[in-house]
């Protein structure tokens, strides 16, 4: 394997918000190719419980964006003090321009996560979230940016009605998707993995 390219992809696939090209439609064929790659991710029981709803319709994107913006405003109001400025700028920019992003992808999993204990919840989310991340990686490898978002879920039911999503589906993430501008991305700032890796007992690091 070409480790340099793979490591670069894994370390530089960012939440793209300010660098989404709002003027260029996203090639549907490329997106389908990325979805086909993404579904190689693990999926509980290999049942194909993942679903991807690609939204390009202008009125529907605007309606979803309005819900997103409303939820963002409420979220911000509740957490303004501890919200890091850099993320705030970027997140506010996305909220302001959400409707203009040429494509939105909502990933869904079969079954409602509220019905069932931790095992079923993990199985349901686990059947779509790995594929959602793989989709972001595949898109990035083809010059397309996305941001993992969940704020729309404050209006999950309303959005389900708008798009005809059946009652037994749980939405996982909403990705605003567009070609990115500029050349490259840098690795993100993270708490080092070694500080979060334990051996044999909780919090026992080496």
Ligand X SMILES: Cc1cc2nc3c(=O)[nH]c(=O)nc-3n(C[C@H](O)[C@H](O)[C@H](O)COP(=O)(O)O)c2cc1C
CB of 150 to ligand X, least distance (A): 4
- Could you give the CA distance from residue 77 to residue 70 in angstroms, rounded to a whole number? 11
In sign, the C-alpha dihedral spanning 138, 140, 143, 149 is: positive
Judged by beta carbon, residue 12 or residue 32, the one nearer ligand X is 12
Burial class (CB in 10 A: 0-12, 13-18, 19+), 113: middle
CB closer to ligand X, 28 vs 87: 87
86 vs 206, which CB is nearer to ligand X? 86
Q: Which of 127, 110, 105 is nearest to 170 (CA)?
A: 110
Q: In the complex with ligand X, which residue's Cβ is closer, 32 or 150?
A: 150
Decide: helix, strand or coil at residue 199.
coil
Q: How far is the CB of 173 from ligand X (least distance, A)?
A: 7
What residue has token string 């501008």? 181
Task: Kindly tell me which of 45 and 192 has the beta carbon lying closer to ligand X.
Answer: 192
Counting every residue written for the chain, the total comes to 206
Q: How far is the CB of 188 from ligand X (least distance, A)?
A: 4
Q: Quote the least distance from Cβ 159 to ligand X, whole Å.
A: 13
What is the radius of gyration, based on Cα positions, of the chain?
18
Q: Minimum Å distance from CB 2 to ligand X?
A: 22
Which residues of the shown chain bind ligand X in the complex (CB under 6 A)? 14-15, 87, 91, 94, 147-151, 188
Q: Is 8 left (phi over 0), alpha (psi -120 to 50) or beta?
A: alpha
């Amino acid at each position: 394997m070409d480790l340099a390219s793979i490591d670069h992809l894994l370390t530089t696939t960012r939440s793209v918000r300010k660098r989404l090209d709002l003027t260029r439609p996203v090639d549907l064929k490329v997106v389908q190719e990325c979805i086909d790659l993404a579904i190689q991710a693990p999926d509980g029981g290999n049942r194909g419980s993942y679903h991807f709803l690609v939204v390009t319709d202008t009125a529907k994107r605007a309606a979803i964006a309005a819900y997103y913006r409303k939820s963002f405003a409420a979220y911000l109001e509740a957490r303004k003090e501890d919200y890091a400025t850099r993320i705030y700028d970027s997140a506010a920019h996305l909220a302001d321009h959400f409707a203009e992003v040429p494509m939105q992808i909502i990933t869904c999993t079969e079954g409602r996560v509220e019905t069932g204990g931790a095992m079923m919840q993990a199985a349901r989310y686990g059947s779509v979230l790995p594929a959602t991340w793989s989709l972001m990686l595949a898109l990035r490898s083809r010059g397309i940016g996305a941001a993992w978002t969940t704020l729309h879920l404050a209006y999950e039911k309303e959005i389900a009605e708008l798009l005809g999503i059946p009652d037994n589906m749980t939405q996982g993430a909403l990705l605003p998707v567009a070609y990115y501008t500029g050349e490259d991305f840098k690795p993100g700032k993270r708490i080092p993995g070694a500080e979060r890796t334990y051996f044999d007992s909780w919090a026992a690091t080496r």
